[in-house]
Structure 1
Amino acid sequence: MAARERTTKRQSKPVNLTFETSSTNSSAVEEKLFRQAEEVDEEDGPVVFICGKCKLPVGDSMSWDGSEDGSNQIRLKRVTDNVLVGKNSCMYEAGKRSYCLVVDLTCKGCDSVLGMVYESTPKKLDYKRFGFYFNVADIDSYVLGSASQMLAAEGPEEQPVTLEYRGIVEQQLTEMKMLVVSMAQRLEEIEVSI
């Protein structure tokens, strides 16, 4: 009976599965993780939209609402204070027999017309009444974090200045000074002979 109790106690002991091996291929997991990291690196940073003429900021990608490829326009939900919304409406033909009332968006800095706001539209274009439409040809953009120019000292090929390197540079400078002095003397001789 004592042997039976021991086997029962062994069977009821909790099993720890913490370090049990898995059938998941670790290389597949690593590939997936690294691919996701690369995709994040390839994404563009936030974009600042600026007036094409005076370069004042007019909006950014945080207020992006889409684009109108057929009419070369981008749509933003919000704009900066550098954009003035016009007061006078004018008729605009958005398509065949699709007339709209629009007001101009102008740059506060240079008075350039940058786009429009739809005030009144036919029913099929009602979605256009809630955005700021900028003409792609009239604005520029800058991607934050896209700067690539660095000072030479910060570059990847940075080399410490050694005595040997300094000696070489001083020798080259001496040779260049001699060349310049020689050329100046020749120029002086030519001027005297003329």
Structure 2
Amino acid sequence: MAAREKSLKHRQQSVNNTFETSGIDSSAVEEKLFGQVEADEYGEDGPVVFICGKCKLPVGDSMSWDGSEDGQNQIRLKRVTDNVFVGKDTRVYEASKRSPCLIVDLLCRGCHSVLGMVFTSTPKNLDHKRFTFCFNVADIDSYVLGSASQMLAAEGPKEQPVTLEYRGIVEQQLIEMKMLVVAMAQRLEEIEAGLQGGM
């Protein structure tokens, strides 16, 4: 029992550490990347799922957020899905005139589109990019979880809430219907009696 509690405490502590090191402001992510913020009914954004811009396979999410490069129109993620694979060919990439880097391409497993790059060797000023997944914003799309708003209309007439006033109206209608049925039954008996007497 004590080992299980210790294991649960360790798991909780590692979960807390994960969220502490990857503090995500998804509204800032959406605003920076796409210039729009899709708010849900509570005014907050949900997590963002990043998808391939061509075949729409999910490639990552905002829970792995590592930062963005506004000048280069890129985002960085710490982890990606299995729908992304790292190319084999290393090439030289110059982020600026005095910053040559070695990179490999990030490719979509579904359509083989180039989605971004992984920096394998960088000058000191770009060390923060090394061995993170850098996606080109132009090559990916995003979806904010919880942003769906379309619903099917309920079939049949719109239901009214049951209030005391509504209940009183329904009870009055039932009484009137009952009186009508009783009156019709009496009239039917009279007609049947008249038919039997005339035979």
TM-score normalised over the length of structure 1: 0.59
What's 1:183 paired with?
none
Q: CA deviation at 1:160?
A: 4.0
Q: Give the aligned residue type for 1:71.
A: Q
Determine if the alignment matches structure 1 residue 152 to structure 2 residue 153: yes
Secondary structure of 1:126's partner? helix
Structure 2 counterpart of 1:159, one-letter code: K
1:54 corresponds to: 55
Residue in 1 aligned with 2:3? none
Structure 1: gaps spanning 5 or more residues: 1-39, 162-194
Q: Could you give the per-residue CA deviations for residues 110-165 of structure 1, whole angstroms, max 9, x where no partner exists?
A: 000000000001111111103100000000000111000011218xxx7249xxxx
User: Displacement, 1:97?
Assistant: 1.5
For residues 104 and 122 of structure 2, what CA distance do their matches in structure 1 show? 12
- Map of 2:101 onto structure 1: 100
Q: Which runs of 4+ in 1 moved over 2 A?
A: none
Q: How far apart in 1 are the matches of 2:91 and 2:43?
A: 43
| 1:82 aligns to 2:83 (yes or no) | yes
1:45 corresponding residue in structure 2: 46
Quote the sequence identity (%). 79
Unaligned runs of 5+ in 2: 1-40, 161-199
Q: In the alignment, which residue of structure 1 is the partner of 2:197?
A: none
Q: 2: CA distance between counterparts of 1:160 and 1:77?
A: 49
What's the counterpart of residue 66 of structure 1? 67
Q: Which residue of 2 aligns with 1:127?
A: 128
- Name the Cα RMSD after superposition: 2.1
Aligned position for 1:116: 117
Residue 36 of structure 1 aligns with which residue?
Answer: none
* Cα distance between partner residues in 2 of 1:152 and 1:95: 55
Structure with higher Rg: it is: 1
SS at match of 2:71: helix
Q: For residues 143 and 100 of structure 1, what CA distance do their matches in structure 2 show?
A: 33
| 1:141 alignment partner in structure 2 | 142
Measure, in 2, the Cα distance between the counterparts of 1:128 and 1:108: 23
Corresponding residue SS for 2:150 = coil
CA deviation after TM superposition for structure 1 residue 41, in Å: 2.5
Classify the secondary structure of the residue corresponding to 1:84: strand
Secondary structure of 2:92's counterpart equals: strand
Read off the aligned partner of 2:109 and give its amino acid letter.
K
Q: 3-state DSSP class of the match of 2:115? A: strand
